[in-house]
Amino acid sequence: MTFEQLMREPQYFLLKCVSGSRAYNLALPTSDTDIKGVFVLPQEELYGLTYTEQVSNSSNDEVFFEAGRFISLLCKNNPNILELLSTPEKWVLYRHPLMQLIKPEDYLSKLCLDTFAGYAKTQIKKARGLNKKILRTFEKERKQVLDFCYVVKDNGTVPLNEWLKDNGFEQKDCGLINLTHFRDAYLVFHQPGGQLNGIVSSAVANDVSLSSIPKDEQALAVMHFNKDAYSIYCREYREYWQWVDERNEERYQNTMSHGKNYDSKNMMHTFRLLSMAEEIAIHHKVVVHREDRDFLLRIRSGEFEYEELLKNVEEKMNRIEELYVKADLPDMPDERAAERLLIRIREEFYGAFK
């Protein structure tokens, strides 16, 4: 089954809904329209060698789950799946009568603490990561090994590049040997004319070079290469520029426009997920349509300070954890009952084609 095939053969749909910001009551004029749903594989494909779990269009804003995958994720209390099953009627484009057999309340459990609130935690981690990237930028030209080398001078150290400049030396005319018993420490020698290997072999080298030095040659200095700092810098430099290349520029500019240096859309969904987790514990239902729209959109518009939001998240998390200890919810859904229901749905669905 492919997305294109499913579009040509809509008789295999069980459910088709508008999802995302429109279903949440959080849409803005610029919001996209996301579609999610459930389908049943043609019987011959289900019995064949290849099982298709889900299909989507090229932009991934239309996603459809095969019934078996849908029930499996439902038993794991996956937030997206529980939200899809609880979509407000105004956003349901098609619902097969068999979908009436699948009731959200039959699957809610204490797993929702981890899936809804736990997912909110990952959103906070992403927000912190973005905050860090925004606050710490990297020049396009990457630093070199030489920028992380320091020479002992007087009672302290000076950057190697400064020491070379003060002495009128070129790094290519210098040579290093290991200084025993000192990690990443070296003796520095100087011989003009290309007799030594240089401190680095090239501008793109990732480590220092060593040279062969006569035993009676006197070292000019002791140098330390801060290899740990260099490795961290290279990793963060690579991650930063990868993020720049892949980021959603419109969303990033929105983040920068409110001047709070955090992904406000990310934080909005963090609070939405936490509120939904709280409602599940108290009311035993998944509330997709958000009556707290005004508060959530205030977060999205950057009205709150970053640290203030983090403090509120921590307080909300503590409260939710206490609620789940007392909540009258099973530890996890009844998977055997869910399996029996899946079999019934398949049998009745395929039976209708005979």
Which of 48-52, 69-73, 255-259 is the most confident on average?
A: 69-73
Q: Decide if 237 is inside a domain.
A: no
Burial class (CB within 10 angstroms; exposed 0-12, middle 13-18, buried 19+) of 161: middle
Does one domain contain both 102 and 11?
A: yes
234: its two tokens: 């290279």
Residues 98 and 27 in one domain: yes
pLDDT tens-place string over residues 87-125: 999 999 999 999 999 999 999 999 999 999 887 777 676
Residue 258 clears pLDDT 80, i.e. is over it? no
Number of domains in the chain: 3
Helix (H) or strand (E) holding 39, with range, is strand 34-39
The answer to whether residue 207 is domain-embedded is: yes
| Pair 83, 115 in one domain | no
Mean pLDDT, all residues of the chain: 90
> pLDDT-derived band of residue 249, with 50, 70 and 90 as boundaries?
low
CA distances from 251 to 266, 275, 301 (A): 10, 24, 12
**Residue span of the structural domain in which 196 resides:** 145-231
26 and 89 together in one domain: yes
Q: Are 91 and 126 in a shared domain? A: no
Could you tell me where the beta strands, DSSP code E, fall in 140-251? 149-153, 156-159, 174-178, 185-190, 221-225
* 34-47 pLDDT tens trace: 999 999 999 999 98
**Is residue 238 in some structural domain?**
no
* Residue-wise pLDDT tens digits, 16-34: 999 999 999 999 998 899 9
Angle at the Cα of 303 from the Cα atoms of 301 and 306, rounded to 5 degrees: 105
pLDDT of residue 256: 47
User: What integer is the mean pLDDT of 222-228?
Assistant: 96
pLDDT of residue 76 exceeding 90, the answer is yes
H or E stretch covering 167: helix 160-167
Query: Both 261 and 132 in a single domain?
Result: yes
- Neighbouring CB atoms inside 10 A of 280's CB total 29
Check whether residue 133 and residue 253 sit in a common domain: yes
- Structure confidence at residue 15 as a pLDDT band (50, 70, 90): very high
Indicate if the pLDDT at residue 187 is higher than 90.
yes
Q: Which CATH number characterizes residue 28's domain? A: 3.30.460
- The verdict on residue 243 lying in a domain is no
Is the predicted pLDDT of residue 127 greater than 90, yes or no?
Answer: no
